[in-house]
Structure 1
Amino acid sequence: MNYLQKLLFITLLLSSTIAFGQLTEDPDDRRDQGKDPLRTQTPEGRPLPFGQRLRFGGGINGFRFGNPFSLGVSPVIAYQATERMLVGIGGNYTYTRYKPGLLYANQGVTINQYGFRGFLMYEFIPSILPNLYLHGELQTNTYQQKIDQVAGAYTGTIAAPLVGITYMQPISRRFGVNLTALYNLNYKPNDPISYQVYGGTPFVLRLSFF
């Protein structure tokens, strides 16, 4: 291929790329028109590819300071199923430490939790309060409880359905800051395992980014 043929090929390639870009305008370009970006389609009505509907992120959860001390992390993958609905999966790890005297007189307790969750978020009143989602999820936790000065550890699994709301502050079409408040329908205040794993409260507050 001589120099002229190479130049012609590159020109055609660039022209095709520019034409394709104009044909499939990025939904974020709607901001220039004073409109919110579309989440599942281009402004011309074409469905966005699967990869452009995915959101990746994570956050922190279970944060409590004092007695007990607790802190967790939770990576997330979410998919924009419709303009108003997100579905996703995530994992989580939470560390909880009870100082001596709260559960046992002279012994502290350490709990490590590893979990998985599937969730669904639905923007239910976008015309009145946009970016407010009903939030439902099913969470399972495998936990390991270790009591100070006691050999061995107790391990088990507990599952919980959670319901509540999430408010998302969009940063871009595929990323936002989310504040979530959920209620644990499986919380049992008189069950010591439920009490220890969920920190003595049926409410779950979570800050996440995706």
Structure 2
Amino acid sequence: MNHIRKLLFIAALLSSSLAFGQLTEDPDDRRDQGRDPLKTQTPEGRPLPFGQRLRFGGGINGFQFGNPFSIGVAPVVAYQATEHLIVGVSATYTYTRYKPGYIYANQGVTINQYGGRGFLMYEFIPSILPNLYLHGELQSTTYQSKTDQVAGAYTGTVTAPLVGVTYMQPISRRFGVNLTALYNLNYKPSDPISYQVYGGTPFVLRLSFF
């Protein structure tokens, strides 16, 4: 049931974003004989300056409902390096709450995570599935884990490589809605810290806008 709610929530956001995009299309996006504009060149074939290749936005990451409950935000700055390659960086914050009984019988656990990530997105089969990107990133997270009724908190830092795919629905030349599915290569279910910090799953589902 939780998965169905998530899918419906994402579908509603995508639909509303598409409708919004029809009203807010970038005026620089001049079509040439019905073709989409190039992402790194003007319609006349001149390279776009650095500033016009930048993308700004943010996203929602690590969201889970129930037990644990988790929600995160992540501002993003990305750069259109080539027609098919995007590179970027992002700061991240995630709040996670485990209710009593999930980890410890009578105690809940609250985890605050701060960090950053660098990522690459490559549109690998544009002629067959345009806007589908291979996605790889390296994420570093500093966490603070606090157990109810226990003095003090446990802190540390973990680093994880993640790989997967991103589907981007363009709204304008420099903005789109992105649905990302990643797999955490550093996830260890037998490690309590890894289990808590990554929400008990190696899979990451993320919604972002840039």
Find the aligned partners of 2:79 and 2:141 in 1 and give their Cα distance: 23
Q: Secondary structure at the match of 1:29?
A: coil
Match of 1:190 in 2: 190
Name 2:29's counterpart in structure 1. Answer: 28
Which residue in the other structure is 1:63 paired with? 63
Partner of 2:109: 109
CA displacement 1:19-55 (0-9 Å, x = unmatched): xxxxxxx75112x631111100112221101000000
Amino acid in the other structure paired with 1:174 = R
Greater relative contact order structure (CA < 8 Å, 6+ sep): 2
Q: Secondary structure of 1:145's match?
A: strand
Pick the structure with greater CA Rg. 1
Unaligned segments of structure 2, at least 5 residues: 1-26
Paired position in structure 1 for 2:203 = 203
Q: CA deviation at 1:123?
A: 0.2
Q: Which residue of structure 2 aligns with residue 127 of structure 1?
A: 127
Partner of 1:85: 85
> In the alignment, residue 156 of structure 1 is paired with which amino acid?
G
Deviation at 1:76, TM superposition (A): 0.2
2:99 is matched with 99
Corresponding letter in the other structure for 1:48 = L
Q: Distance in 2 between matches of 1:158 and 1:182?
A: 17
**Aligned ranges for residues 96-175 of structure 1 at < 5 Å?**
96-175=96-175
Amino acid at match of 2:67: N
* CA displacement 1:1-32 (0-9 Å, x = unmatched): xxxxxxxxxxxxxxxxxxxxxxxxx75112x6
Partners in 1 of 2:34 and 2:46 — Cα distance? 20
Q: Which segments of structure 1 move beyond 4 Å, counting only runs of 4 or more?
A: none
Aligned-pair CA distance for 1:133: 0.2
Alignment correspondent of 2:179: 179
Amino acid at match of 1:82: T
Structural RMSD (CA)? 1.0
Cα displacement string for residues 81-127 of structure 1 (whole angstroms, at most 9, x for unaligned residues)? 00000000001100000001111111100000001000000000000
| TM-score, length of structure 2 as denominator length | 0.86
Runs of 5+ consecutive residues of structure 1 not aligned to the other structure: 1-25
* Offset at residue 201 of structure 1 (A): 0.6
Deviations 1:148-200 (A, max 9, x none): 01111000000000000000000000000000000000000100000000011
User: Identity over the aligned pairs, expressed in percent?
Assistant: 85
SS at match of 1:144: strand
Q: Secondary structure at the match of 2:196?
A: helix
Match of 1:39 in 2: 39
